[in-house]
Structure 1
Amino acid sequence: MSYEAINVTIDAANQVATITLNRPDKLNSFTRQMHGELAAALDEVVAAHARALVLTGAGRGFCAGQDLADLDFTPGAMTDLGDLIGEHFNPLIRRIQALPFPVIAAVNGTAAGAGANLALACDLVLAARSASFIQAFVKIGLVPDSGGTWFLPQRVGMARALGLAMTGEKLGAEKAETWGLIWQAVDDEALQSTAQNLAIQLAKQPTRALAAIKQAMRHGLSATLDEQLDLERDLQRELGASHDYAEGVRAFIEKRAPRFEGR
């Protein structure tokens, strides 16, 4: 499939896919077209049997959130933001969270509004040292969406989450790392290579186990200890019957590097 608002590349040898938001003149802000292309691209990545995905942006920004020019402000016919979120943003966030392999956000510049929360929906977030995260919603009289009110308190605590959301202040990448909002801040010139190398590393791991780790960690955010213990038991039973578990044990016994296949 051909795309206009995004670019998709698939490194078949390493089973790594990269999706680049590609509206650099608009800081890669979202339009309905971009949403449709992203949905199709995720289908393509899954169909290609990718075992890791990098999500990044073209130009000087990662994503500035919703492109307001794509909305209707005509009196009496204004875009219903609830419909927009329910039809486009929420399905995208849910899809990224549910992908059965690791997703890495490589934040190369400004990540604002829904763009910031799109990054936070990924499993691991790398950011260029010059990058920043802005919960810009309050500046136009809105509440953080695309999971922002869920991701922020869990990662940085309620005091910092409220501060970011209520002031709309810019949070630099290095402070975001210190606060635990992201995985790592890296030098600007090393961002893309670091993200690709991490994706290649993760793609060589037991993919089913990584998917189960994602599932278990997120389940634990709202589960009781008893519920979590039961889930761990069930996941371990399932993974204990997998090809990669058997390969990992054999490699350990034979004192060699395992050759995981993601099954």
Structure 2
Amino acid sequence: MTEAVQVEVRDRVAVLTLSRPDSGNAIDQEMADSLLKATLHIASDDAVRAVLLTGQGRAFCVGGDVKAFAATGTGASALVDGLTASLHVAVARLARMDKPLVTAINGAAAGAGFGLAILGDVALAARSAKFAMAYGAIGLTPDGGATWLLPRLVGFRQAQRLALTGERIDATEAERIGLITRVIDDDALQAEALAVATTLAQGPRLAFARTRALLHQSLSNGLETQLEREARGIAEAIAGPEGQEGIAAFVARRPADFSGL
């Protein structure tokens, strides 16, 4: 049986592909568990220095498997509890792991798929991609980290707009409001996303990990606390092998080589 999330490592980049194309990569329990399993593995694998998340087929991820919810009837609440238990640990690990995440949004991103799409440190979307939170239309509330990420990316007012109206926006609008990093032509998306992830994989892993953490902390810390954490972080970085290599390379006017560090 094909895994609901396929994993392939290329040039120290772990490519995670959501693989239920016949259902728009809708998230059922199997996919949530598969994503968690893959995420826990690649997050702790020192051979992996960056992660690329994408979808197979025409959609990135249309969200939870609503047909499965309907088929469960009165057991839907327990089903959703189990699904989110796996999905949310996977989302947290992707957000907190010590390696950068690129998302290649190859098509529709809705519901929990919306949250996964915007989770990337670099979020690249195909020109044909569409985005919608979509929960209100079926009487549900958001999951997948969307309500944490969305206000941080686009501001509170735009977050209200997208979460409450369920408005579907295209990739151009998503880029305009800061929901994604960049729009890419459909036929160039995968190659460009892999190139970006490969470049990140060649960078300073520990420095990137500290930078990710600082950015996540910035909206909950006061200025003085953030300044203290920045000072501590850069002092630790400059004393470590990555900082030493980076400075030596700068002085020698050569590219830094972080690959063995």
Give the SS at the match of 1:62: strand
Give the structure 2 partner of residue 24 of structure 1. Answer: 21
Q: Is the 8 A contact 1:207 1:262 kept in 2?
A: no
Shift of 1:76: 4.5
| Preserved CA contact (<8 Å) 1:244 1:261 | no
Structure 2 CA distance for aligned equivalents of residues 21 and 86 of structure 1 = 16
Which of 219, 222, 226 aligns to 1:221? It is 219
Alignment of 1:76-87 (within 5 A): 76-80=74-78, 83-84=81-82, 86-87=84-85
Aligned pair in 2 of structure 1 residues 40, 78: CA closer, same or farther (>3 Å)?
A: closer
**Residue aligning to 2:125:** 127
TM-score (norm 1): 0.93
Residue of structure 2 in register with 1:40 after alignment: 37
Q: 1:217-242 CA distances to partner (integer Å, 9 max, x unpaired)?
A: 11011100011011111211221221
**Structure 1's 211 and 20: CA in aligned 2 closer, same or farther, altered over 3 A?**
same
The equivalences for 1:240-259 within 5 A come to 240-259=238-257
Residue of structure 1 in register with 2:8 after alignment: 9
Distance 2:73 2:50 in 1: 45
Letter in 2 for 1:21: L
Aligned to 2:75, what secondary structure does the other structure show?
Answer: coil
Q: Identify if the C-alpha distance between structure 1 residues 66 and 76 changes in structure 2 by more than 3 Å, giving closer, same or farther.
A: closer
Match of 2:100 among 102, 122, 145: 102
In structure 2, the gaps of 5 or more residues are none
Corresponding residue of 1:172: 170
- The residue identity in structure 2 corresponding to 1:44 is H
CA 251–67 in structure 1, closer or farther in 2 if over 3 Å, else same: same
User: TM-score scaled by structure 2?
Assistant: 0.94
Conserved 8 A contact 1:208-1:262: no
Query: Percentage identity across aligned positions?
Result: 38
Instruction: Classify the secondary structure of the residue corresponding to 2:159.
Output: helix
**Contact 1:205 1:262 survives alignment (8 Å):** no
Query: Does 1:70 pair with 2:68?
Result: yes
